[in-house]
Amino acid sequence: MKLYIYEHCPFSARVRYVAGMLNIQLDVINIAYDDDKTTTDLIGTKQVPLLIKDNGEAMAESLDIIAYFLELATSSETSQPSQQALDWQKIAFLPLQKVGYPRWSNMDLPEFATLSAQQAWRAKKETAALNFDALLQDTPNIAKEVEALIKGAKSVLNLDACQHVTLVDEAILFSILRGFFSATEIQWDNTVKDWVESVSNKTQVPLLQ
């Protein structure tokens, strides 16, 4: 099976996380950020993650892809995230954008290998509210915001209690937490950091650092 992704994309990362945990083999294909053709030719729109099954069928919603992987692995796990994970995700997306938007296109990520891809990213993502230079200058305040989210993630993941958390909840939190490694100023709770690094190694989904 082929999976088209952006390396920075949390929706791509959550799919890869579940595949890694279930030992599902994928041919992962990173597409350039300014590539408007590859996925459009396949499904009529520019969208990742995009899974092409062995029978040629395309699937483009991350939770649908996760449900398919669970089915393939004959897993009894649910593909429906908990409300707690969804609530955390809702408040975490803007801080993730604040951290990642001004940094990711300057990192060694395959989707930004060309100047045109970097320029396409800035043209699309930079707004008055998310001005890249201003975000970088505001890093100390953003870091505090993120550090509070990291503490909240510890609770959602039940890391102290060592209780089972569903794979889809883990995938959602991991897919966002990995992006916070992009700002070295962020101070991590060691338990959360150890978990993120451990599952990154296990699933072979790298952190954004």
Q: What integer pLDDT is reported at residue 160 of this predicted model?
A: 76
Show Cβ contacts of residue 110 under 8 Å, excluding neighbours closer than 6 positions: 7, 30, 32
Q: What integer pLDDT is reported at residue 161 of this predicted model?
A: 73
Three-state secondary structure along 76-113? CCCCCCCHHHHHHHHHHHHHHHHHHCCCHHHCCCHHHC
Q: What integer pLDDT is reported at residue 198 of this predicted model?
A: 97
* Alpha carbons 111 and 114: distance in angstroms, whole number: 8
The DSSP secondary-structure symbol of 56 reads: S
Q: What is the mean pLDDT of each run of 10 residues along the chain (209 residues)?
A: 98 98 97 96 94 95 96 94 97 98 98 98 97 98 98 91 86 98 97 97 97
Q: What integer pLDDT is reported at residue 162 of this predicted model?
A: 67
Distances (CA, A) of 41 to 1, 3, 36, 147: 17, 15, 9, 41
Token readout for 71 is 């089915």
Q: Which long-range contacts (CB under 8 A, 24 or more apart) does 49-54 make?
A: 49/3, 49/4, 49/5, 49/9, 49/11, 49/12, 49/15, 49/16, 50/3, 50/4, 51/1, 51/2, 51/3, 51/4, 51/15, 52/1, 52/2, 52/3, 52/4, 53/1, 54/1
The DSSP secondary-structure symbol of 43 reads: H
User: Which residue segments constitute the domains of the chain, with CATH numbers given?
Assistant: 2-72 (3.40.30.10), 83-203 (1.20.1050.10)
**Backbone CA torsion sign across 175, 108, 125, 100:** positive
Q: What integer pLDDT is reported at residue 13 of this predicted model?
A: 98
* Alpha carbons 143 and 149: distance in angstroms, whole number: 10
> DSSP string covering 132-163, please?
HHHHHHTHHHHHHHHHHHHHHHHHHTTTTTT-
